[in-house]
Structure 1
Amino acid sequence: MTPKDEYGGALSGASVLVIDDEPGMRHFLTKILEPRVKRVAEAASPAEATRVLDEAHFDVVILDNIMPGGTGLAWVTEQRRKGFFADTILITAYADLETAIAALRAGVSDFVLKPFRANQILGAVARTLDRKNLRRDNALLRRELYAGSAPGQLLGTSAALGKVRTLLAKLSSLPTPVLFTGESGTGKELAARQLHLLSDRAEKPFVAVNCAAISPDRTVRELFGAVEGDSRLKPGLLLLADGGTLFLDEVAQMPESLQAALLRVLEDQKIRPEGAEREIPLNLRFLFATNADLDRAVAEGRFRADLYHRITVMRIEMPPLRDRSEDIVELAALFLAQFQTALGMPGLELNDEVLLNLRRYAWPGNVRELKNMIERSVILGSFPEEFAGQGDVTGVEAIENLDLVMQRHILHVLDSCDGNRAEAARRLGVSRKTIDRKVSAWSD
């Protein structure tokens, strides 16, 4: 197996800065890294490296220790105070204890002794990236577990949801910001996750932030990060999402200070952590969501007009469950199976009467209300009174039987017409007599 085959997957997508005063060493490192990583840059001195870092972010820095004008370790220590956070690999011909201790104090990730072979430096870079990604993934996983959030699925075959899927597919390859609107519980975050998974950022993080849940005095630290007492950077959520997608929910409740800061990030794609001297370039796609009237918020001065225009380039309106009622049965069946497995409490079944009652209910809380009701029913062992029923048909047959599907659909349309059979017939494209005959048969 060649070094490229062995390390290519681990290194792909990474950006590396090589700092060495010897042109031959820079050329050697660039030659072995260039086919395997996304981007390689070179610097011949610490001063040049500082200028390069002011313009771009790197995942890994490969740093020679002994150079004219100062040591690599002294340079790293200085850069930490400015907000330097890339993982660093030190290359040196001198492996004394004093250098090793100084490297640990400076936060160096790995140590490679000269002379070295190509596979040694490639292995060091791969290990460094693996540790970096593991730290990021653990931080995001802990956050998701603490928040009780999970990826979930965007389920349903209704025409209303089909329009949403078509828009997601059209926007997936673009960097354009997207605003998801709609009532609470309609699946705005699920749709945003779906857009992320359809994009070329799918292998990178998706980070969801509830703007209403961030304390104003913690905004900078939580979103932008901070340089802490030992001159190390604690990354914020924007940095953890770098390369991927940042989803900002409840944007209408964003504090004014955060609105101003976010506008600058959108314009410059850079952040400055608290206590850092240097701005950090980012590569992010921004998605937003709200169930509030943003136009009204702008008119009332509660939301910045300039930010409003930046985040509303494209809007996707998530349909309420009552407008995609044909999806209710599929969703109920899925949630029932999920909760019975997760809670280890089988025994509850969907029958034709229960499904009819579910279909005819308005669901003001949308999909979230349906999901919560199913979970509660599994725990209690029965459906609430308004949904319960002693139907004769259960399971798959109750879900897929064509006559029952037709009954649920016609009665739902009748409900939406307040019982007006003529209007229901018009919407369904059938005669009034057909409606009368069907309703009469179901009443017998």
Structure 2
Amino acid sequence: MTLPMTTWSALSLLIVDDEPGMRSFLGKALAKRFAQVETAASVEEAEALRSRLHFDLIIADIRLPGRSGIEWHESLQPSERRSDLIFMTGYGDMESALRALRLGASDFILKPFNLEQMVQAVDRVIARRHLERENWLLREEVSKHFPVQLIGDSATTAELKCMIARVAPSPAAVLVEGESGTGKELVARALHQLSGRSGAFVPVNCGAIAPELLESELFGHVQGAFTGARKGREGLFRVAQQGTLFLDEIGEMPLAMQSSLLRALEQKAIRPVGAERELPVDVRIVAATNRNLKEEVEAGRFRADLFYRLNVVTLKVAPLRERPEDIPALVHHFTERLTTEMGMAPLRWTHEDVAAMQAHEWPGNVRELRNLIERSLLLGKPPALEWQAEAGVQAVQGGYPDEWDLARVARAHIEQVVARCDGNKSAAARTLGVARKTLERKFKEWEQA
């Protein structure tokens, strides 16, 4: 049996045997197949060579003068076992050879052997090493392409990752749809990472900025453009030059601002507030919403032309309740991350806890899952016990009357959450998964009704 010379031609080999005839036989036979071949008669000679040279493969006899090959292998730290190792052994040393394999040796070959048998053993080891390296490179490539936050093993998540990879290189606008807490910003970041764009990823929550300030926030302003404008401001479009501007909660944008945004997208230029001339911009737009923008268009709350301009490609992020297969991986990720951040000992969830989490509806989606894990870690209370306690409270409180419409139920629920947060609307907004500005607007609408 012969192998292509290129299979081993870039690798180095060390042969360790106290028999001169064996060293000569293997050294001459394998010299043309490896880039470098060295020989040693003992462990001490081998260590001297290893201290100044790197070897991809070591072929060593188990029985050596002084320290045996096994004793040598056992003395090495895991970090020192970078070379593949094939032991040569007689039938009487089979137990030692098996012990060597358990310690991490790559293979062994029984004496006496011919060259073809040695070539086959070497080929097996090198082929395995090449496969391990290819797998490592593949994992590295995947980790570069997909941020670790895009976690999950479900078919739905896999399909989303494929769509992200497919549309990311395009400069086209992308609309990311999904309920609050599903991870829409993570999708936007993944699109940016895969886009190859040299600029920054700039997120902005359109619902968290006062309408009268949004234009200045996005387009910038010149000095003296309005009262208090003591110096000019660049604006987030310019900050995101040659990068990605992520417009979160795009459905919250006022109609007047929607018109200005549409013009900026079509002209690929912006006019800072108070400026006379437009400035060219090269920005990729990714927008996100938890609303149904088609319904918003029909209701007259969102411009149809802007909707179609943003809706070149739509990525839908499924709610967590529709992909329970992702929950074990998410639980593991958040647990490791939070225990590290809080300096806590690693925690293992029981099967019952994970099953309970997979059966939960998750109205707050991934954000709710993370908060639950953090609360469980801090309080030392498993999720199943916490939900049992909550179920007891709900049983006492009772549900909402059947004759109530959805708007009345929503108001009652929001008021209940705010009361539970002792009137802290910021905390209530985080619990509900909405912007504080949205909560303020709701209360203002109820006061004026």
TM normalised by structure 2 equals 0.51
Q: How many angstroms apart in 2 are the aligned matches of 1:382 and 1:219?
A: 43
Instruction: Indicate the RMSD between aligned Cα atoms, in angstroms.
Output: 2.0
The corresponding residue for 2:211 is: 216
Distance 2:383 2:373 in 1: 9
1:29-178 equivalences in 2 (<5 Å): 153-178=149-174
8 Å CA contact 2:242, 2:283 repeated in 1: yes
**Is 1:200 matched with 2:199?**
no
Match in the other structure for 2:234: 235
Question: Superposition pairs for residues 309-328 of structure 1, below 5 Å?
Answer: 309-328=308-327
Query: Corresponding residue for 2:96?
Result: none
Please name the residue that 1:332 is paired with. 331
Point out where structure 1 has 5 or more consecutive residues left out of the alignment. 1-150, 390-444
Alignment of 1:407-422 (within 5 A): none
Describe the SS at the equivalent of 1:212.
coil
What does the per-residue CA deviation read over 1:207-243, in whole Å, with 9 as the maximum and x for residues that have no partner? Answer: 1111111111111221111112599632111111111
Partner of 1:341: 340
How many angstroms apart in 1 are the aligned matches of 2:230 and 2:384?
Answer: 60
**1:162 alignment partner AA:** A
State the identity as a percent: 47
Letter in 1 for 2:164: L
CA–CA separation in structure 1 for the residues paired with 2:189 and 2:154: 19
Q: Does the Cα contact within 8 Å between 1:348 and 1:381 map onto a contact in 2? A: no
Letter in 2 for 1:160: T
Q: Aligned in 2, Cα 1:370/1:231: closer, same or farther, shift over 3 Å? A: closer
Tell me the residue number matched to 1:392.
Answer: none
Quick one: structure 1 residues 152 and 228, their matched pair in 2 at CA, closer, same or farther if it must change by over 3 Å? farther
Consecutive unaligned residues of structure 2, counting only runs of 5 or more, are 1-146, 389-449
Q: Which residue of 1 aligns with 2:264?
A: 265
* CA displacement at 1:368 relative to structure 2: 0.8
Show CA shifts across 1:140-196 (max 9, x none): xxxxxxxxxxx8711112100111111111101111111111111111110111011
2: CA distance, partners of 1:381 / 1:346: 12
Structure 2 vs 1, CA of residues 234 and 262 (structure 1 numbering), >3 Å: closer, same or farther? Answer: same
Q: Secondary structure at the match of 1:288?
A: strand
d(CA) in 1 for partners of 2:325, 2:387: 19
Tell me the distance in 1 between the aligned counterparts of 2:250 and 2:156. Answer: 24
Is the alpha carbon distance of 1:231 and 1:217 closer, same or farther for their aligned partners in structure 2, counting shifts above 3 Å? closer
Aligned pair in 2 of structure 1 residues 155, 191: CA closer, same or farther (>3 Å)? same
Are the equivalent residues in 2 in contact too, given 1:357–1:387 (CA < 8 A)?
A: no
How far did residue 339 of structure 1 move? 0.8
The answer to which of 342-351 and 368-377 deviates more is 342-351
Match of 1:183 among 176, 179, 185: 179
SS of residue matched to 1:233: coil
Q: CA deviation at 1:283?
A: 0.4
Quote how far apart the aligned CAs of 1:384 are. 3.5
Q: Report Cα offsets for 1:77-136 as digits up to 9, x if no partner.
A: xxxxxxxxxxxxxxxxxxxxxxxxxxxxxxxxxxxxxxxxxxxxxxxxxxxxxxxxxxxx
Query: Is 1:283 equivalent to 2:282 in the alignment?
Result: yes
Q: Which residue does the alignment assign to 1:100? A: none
Deviations 1:285-312 (A, max 9, x none): 0011111111111111111111111111
Contact 1:225 / 1:273 at 8 angstroms: preserved in 2?
Answer: yes
SS in 2 for 1:221: helix
Residue 175 of structure 1 aligns to a residue whose secondary structure is coil
In structure 1, what is the Cα distance between the partners aligned to 2:266 and 2:346? 55
Calculate the TM-score normalised by the size of structure 1.
0.51
2:150, 2:257 → 1: CA distance?
A: 30
> Match of 1:359?
358
Separation in structure 2 between the aligned mates of residue 310 and residue 275 of structure 1, nearest angstrom: 26
For 1:285 and 1:189, the matched residues in 2 are separated by: 15
Asked if the contact 2:357/2:383 (under 8 Å) is kept, the reply is no
Once the two structures are TM-superposed, the CA of residue 348 in structure 1 deviates from its matched residue by: 3.8
Instruction: Report if the CA contact (8 A) 1:158-1:326 is conserved.
Output: yes
Count the aligned residue pairs: 238
2:151 counterpart SS class: coil
Residues 152 and 190, structure 1, Cα contact 8 Å, conserved in 2: no
Indicate if the aligned counterparts of 1:358 and 1:387 stay in contact, CA closer than 8 A. no
Q: 2:169 aligns to what SS in structure 1?
A: coil
Give the distance between the partners of 1:187 and 1:330, measured in 2 at CA: 15
- Paired residues of 1:348 and 1:382 also in contact (CA < 8 A): no
Matched-pair contact (CA < 8 Å) for 1:248–1:289 = yes
Residues 18-71 of structure 1 show CA distances to partners (whole Å, capped at 9, x for unaligned) of xxxxxxxxxxxxxxxxxxxxxxxxxxxxxxxxxxxxxxxxxxxxxxxxxxxxxx
Q: CA deviation at 1:385?
A: 4.1
Cα distance, 1:388 vs. partner? 8.3
Equivalent residue, structure 2, for 1:226? 221
1:386, distance to aligned residue in structure 2 (A)? 4.2
